[in-house]
Amino acid sequence: MRIISILLILIFSFSSFAQEREENTEKEVNQERLNQRTMLDDSTKIIYGMKTTSYINKDKFRFSDTIFNLLDSTLNDIYDVSVPERNEFSYQNLGNLGSPLNNIYFKIPSTFSLRSGLSSLKPYIKNISTEKLYDTKSPFIDLGLYFGGLGRSKVDFEFSRNVNESWNLTLAINRISSDKQIGAIRNKGDKNIKSSSVRLNVFHNSKNKKISHYTDFMTLNHNILGTGGVDVVADSLPLKFFLYKDFDVRLTDVNNLFKNLNLESYTDYKLGSHLKLYNHTKFKNEKFSYEDMDISQNLNFYDQFTNNISTQDSFKVKSITNRVGIKGNSKILNYNIYGNIGSYMFNTNLVENNISELYVGALIKYINSKFDLFANFEIKKTSDYRFKIDFKSKIFEVSYLSGLYEPSIFEENYKGNHYSWNNNFNSTFLNVINARINLENNFLTFSPSINLHTIKDHVYYVETNHLQHNELISFNQFILDLKLKFFNSIIKIDNKYTYSVSSKSGEGILNFPKHKFYSKLYYNGKWFKNTIPVQLGAITSYRSEYYGDSYNPITQNFYVQNEFQLESYLRFDLFFTMQVNNLRIFLKMNHFNQFDRYDGYFVTPYYPAQKKVLDLGVRWYFFN
């Protein structure tokens, strides 16, 4: 916290200095104008606001997009603080804010580059606002404070300032702190999660529009003081009583630490009116460690070990990738042709190895008044490839993906006190078709969609090692998305139903709920003479029973299991939000329908979901 305090002091000092410099310049140029500003100080403060601060996503910026977006000032979903809430409960966690995460459905790799395989905390990295490049006309602060019941809290702080019309500086600080929800030995302060991150971004657009550049630095320290879940036997399910803090837990005095450092630099140079040369470099340093300094306390948890005194396992991946390419655009076409080279060094308990990577690719985007067409092709020297094409019109969307993805580093290599493997898997083949229809009028939006997956040589984790399934697996989803509006949009209902099914070859390998339903009914209006926007409503979520993936704290990853069935459960949440100028406030009652304090359900095997609790949060924009 001392470092954070020093950074905040430096930010406000920098802001004050920059502001003073601007005012001195104005004084030299026009003394009379400065006097007018001084006399009307109260009114000039409102010159800066939502319409003078904008941003662009890095992906769009790299693809030659020039459209900046205004800040989001709506009340929609500001009460969804955790990753599962923001994704309509399509993620598992360990029943606590900031705990490891796992998508309950089969997930397509997000990148064609070689992956580390350390994935359970990656969604937190993605959600640290690393995708925004700002253009501000005044100092801007985005402050989010979350005060959750039962010792859970979250702080999101982002400061952005244009040094001049060409340069922008952004600093973001994020912190999560959560007490144990199960097996706590103290009422307060018995920590389960301690996470902090810092991000620094520098963004530049030259005055002559020839050079664009950004450098993005982010570091995350995520500490999990684990419990191993509650000490129950799968044969005794379903449980009649959920004791939460009074549960006996499976692990004592163990510690997981995940460290992640990302450094990214991008520069493009304008060669002609519609042609640019660019260079994009990324450096990543990822490490997870697991410590149990007294194995004798936890002998019942471990199936095997080499050292029977203590465990100090670690897995570290360093990577540097560099992409060089040319890109251009016209009124109807954007294109991007590139070559990508990568070097990866992984270290598992002091044993070092190196892997190199080389691939080339091309992106093309056709823009039409009636539809957009996007195509991307990439191929490696190993013959792994990825081809994706997207078609999007106002009414119809369809995409096709075909690819060979090489196994992640962690899937093929690991050595620790409890597990060790050295695999040589084939690349996984994926064939995916997505289609969606969008029908809309003043009263409803109806969007049915279908996702068809074909998977060959699927690699999956079974706690002690990884396995590869050589048979062809089909995994399909049918989704109905229906939004209704009543009384001039004062009452809204958002509904989404997902039906999922796989072929017999995927049974026991791809586990997922067959039925999933998410609905939000809410009032959307203005109070106090139409000056204060408010929302008031209820969220209903349901998933059917399934054998959800279990979590292994030793390797910090989720694995396939077929013994502990997660029962079906219907959950209700209530929320209230309101907005006063740039301040938004929310109250949310999680798991409202837990009327019996001994009632509950498991969100992950051995980990009960969050019990009924009231949360409070604010989101505040500051300008100038």
Measured CA to CA, the distance from residue 609 to residue 573 in angstroms comes to 13
Is 48-623 a CATH 3.40.50.300 domain?
Answer: no
Residues of the chain with pLDDT > 90: what percent?
Answer: 80
Token pair of 464 as six digits: 């002690």
Token pair of 396 as six digits: 């119809």
Is residue 31's pLDDT more than 80?
A: no
Residue-level length of the chain: 624
Q: What is the pLDDT of residues 434-475, one digit of tens each?
A: 999 999 999 999 999 999 999 999 999 999 999 999 999 999
pLDDT attached to residue 163:
92
Contacts of 31 (CB under 8 A, 6+ apart): none
CA distances (Å), origin 508, targets 15, 236, 462, 524, 559: 57, 21, 11, 44, 12
Is residue 348's pLDDT more than 90?
A: no
Q: Which of 200, 180, 202 is nearest to 191 (CA)?
A: 180
Is residue 209's pLDDT more than 50?
A: yes
- State the amino acid at position 542 in one-letter form: Y
Residues of the chain with pLDDT > 70: what percent?
Answer: 92
Mean pLDDT of 319-337: 92
**Helices 2-29 and 31-39: angle between axes, nearest 10 degrees:** 130
Q: Which of 483, 429, 480, 479 is nearest to 451 (CA)?
A: 479
Q: Which helix (H) or strand (E) holds 26?
A: helix 2-29
Assess contact for 146 and 617: CB atoms under 8 A. Answer: yes
Contacts of 289 (CB under 8 A, 6+ apart): 256, 257, 312, 313, 314, 315
Mean pLDDT of the chain: 90
- State the amino acid at position 462 in one-letter form: V
Token pair of 448 as six digits: 């049915």
pLDDT attached to residue 2:
47
Q: How would you list the strands of the sheet with 69-70, edge to edge?
A: 69-70, 53-57, 132-136
Mean pLDDT of 379-403: 96
pLDDT attached to residue 3:
45
The DSSP 8-state label assigned to residue 230 in this structure reads B
Q: Which of 554, 349, 566 is nearest to 463 (CA)?
A: 554
Assess contact for 175 and 97: CB atoms under 8 A. Answer: no
Span of 117-126, 153-162, 588-597 with lowest mean pLDDT? 117-126
Cα distance from N-terminal residue to C-terminal residue, the chain = 25
Collapsing DSSP to helix, strand or coil, 62 comes out as helix
The DSSP 8-state label assigned to residue 487 in this structure reads T
pLDDT attached to residue 131:
79
Is residue 23's pLDDT more than 80?
A: no
Collapsing DSSP to helix, strand or coil, 409 comes out as helix
Measured CA to CA, the distance from residue 332 to residue 157 in angstroms comes to 39
pLDDT attached to residue 498:
98
Mean pLDDT of 498-510: 96
Q: What is the pLDDT of residues 286-296, one digit of tens each?
A: 999 999 999 99
pLDDT attached to residue 129:
58
**Where exactly are the structural domains of the chain?**
48-623
- Which pLDDT band holds residue 46 (cuts at 50, 70, 90)? low
Contacts of 516 (CB under 8 A, 6+ apart): 89, 90, 497, 498, 500, 542, 543, 544
Mean pLDDT of 353-379: 94
Q: What is the pLDDT of residues 83-119, one digit of tens each?
A: 999 999 999 999 999 999 999 999 999 899 999 998 9
Residue with more model confidence, 434 or 20: 434
Is residue 20's pLDDT more than 60?
A: no
pLDDT attached to residue 350:
72
pLDDT attached to residue 130:
64
What is 445-473 written as a DSSP string? EEEEEEEEEEEESEEEE-SSSEEEE-S-E
Q: What is the pLDDT of residues 227-246, one digit of tens each?
A: 999 999 988 999 989 999 99
Span of 6-15, 256-265, 274-283, 346-355 with lowest mean pLDDT? 6-15
pLDDT attached to residue 620:
95
Span of 17-21, 214-218, 223-227, 608-612 with lowest mean pLDDT? 17-21
Mean pLDDT of 51-75: 86
What Rg value do the Cα atoms of the chain yield, rounded?
Answer: 26
Report if pTM > 0.85: yes
| 67 alpha carbon, distance to own chain's centre | 23
Judged on CB neighbours under 10 Å (0-12, 13-18, 19+), 175 is: middle
Q: Which helix (H) or strand (E) holds 59?
A: helix 58-62
Instruction: Identify the sign of the CA torsion 525, 528, 530, 533.
Output: negative
Is residue 517's pLDDT more than 70?
A: yes
Cis peptide preceding 238, ω within 30 of 0: yes
Instruction: Identify the sign of the CA torsion 376, 460, 116, 564.
Output: positive
Mean pLDDT of 596-624: 95
